[in-house]
Amino acid sequence: EVQLVESGGGLVQPGGSLRLSCAASGFTLSTYRMNWVRQAPGKGLEWISYISGSGAIIYYADSVKGRFTISRDNAESSLYLQMNSLRDEDTAVYFCVRDSGGWSFDYWGQGSLVTVSS
Amino acid sequence: SFELTQPPSVSVSPGQTASITCSGDKLRHKSVCWYQQRPGQSPILVIYQNTQRPSGIPERFSGSNSGSSATLTIGGTQPMDEADYYCQAWDSSTAWRLFGGGTKLTVL
């Protein structure tokens, strides 16, 4: 059974940093592209970052470019999101999402809540 | 930049057909997928590659894509189908995976 379990969320002050982790199981992580998607309270879904299976190709949405860094450790079956210079508007549930290969997301984690507030 | 536009809300009576549209420039040339998100839950994929249904998704869910709009159709809508629905496509110029703003489907 495919499982994606996020961790590392919490309350952080504006300007602070946080690192999210996603533990993948039930499949071979290295053979799949992965993404992070977030959802602000009461708002829609926002794709924020993509990483290829090897980690060689990375994309970011403009809203997080230069502040967030996506990475992966295939040996540890883990995906990461390093978030720096956090802003109030980064408050959201962050989902770890598997890319099916057909330009769609076939598995989602349960999400990790990040709250940026003073 | 490429954008996907959905109606904020759609209402349907139980047993009737619900249609949710997603519009965007040259959308017919893109692969569109749809997600269902019930309150407090993670999204699930209900349609991929415009018309394909993942295993486990009921046959009443179908998709189409022509012109400048893609459509998610739910035939014989049930109360359990009440949820938010999001379309998504890949913008080849930026490699971004973009979502529509979401549509709240109410079954009443």
Question: Can you give the pLDDT at residue B92?
Answer: 77
Q: pLDDT category, A110, cuts 50, 70, 90?
A: very high
Q: Residue B79: phi, psi to the nearest 5?
A: -55, -30
Q: Residue A106: its chain B contacts at CB < 8 A?
A: 45, 48, 54
Q: Residue A35: its chain B contacts at CB < 8 A?
A: 97
Question: Can you give the pLDDT at residue A37?
Answer: 98
Partner residue opposite A44 with nearest CB, options B44, B86, B89: B86
Interface of B with A in 17-36 (CB under 8 A): 31, 33, 35
Instruction: Identify which of A30, A27, A70 has the alpha carbon closest to the alpha carbon of residue A48.
Output: A70
Check: CB of residue B49 under 8 Å from CB of residue B33: yes
A39-45 mean pLDDT: 97
* Half-sphere CA count of A68, side-chain side, radius 13 A: 27
A20-43 mean pLDDT: 97
pLDDT tens string A49-96: 999 999 999 999 999 999 999 999 999 999 999 999 999 999 999 999
Neighbours of A73 (CB within 10 A): 13
Question: Can you give the pLDDT at residue B27?
Answer: 87
Provide the total of helices (H) and of strands (E) in chain A, helices listed first: 0, 11
Partner residue opposite A47 with nearest CB, options B54, B98, B101: B98
Question: Can you give the pLDDT at residue B68?
Answer: 79
10 Å CB burial of residue A21 (0-12, 13-18, 19+) is: middle
CA distance B33 to chain A (A): 6
Low-confidence spans in chain B with pLDDT less than 70:
none
Mean pLDDT, chain A, whole residue set: 96
- In this prediction, what percent of chain A has a pLDDT beyond 90? 97
Q: Residue B86: its chain A contacts at CB < 8 A?
A: 44-45
A27-46 mean pLDDT: 97
Question: Can you give the pLDDT at residue B25?
Answer: 85
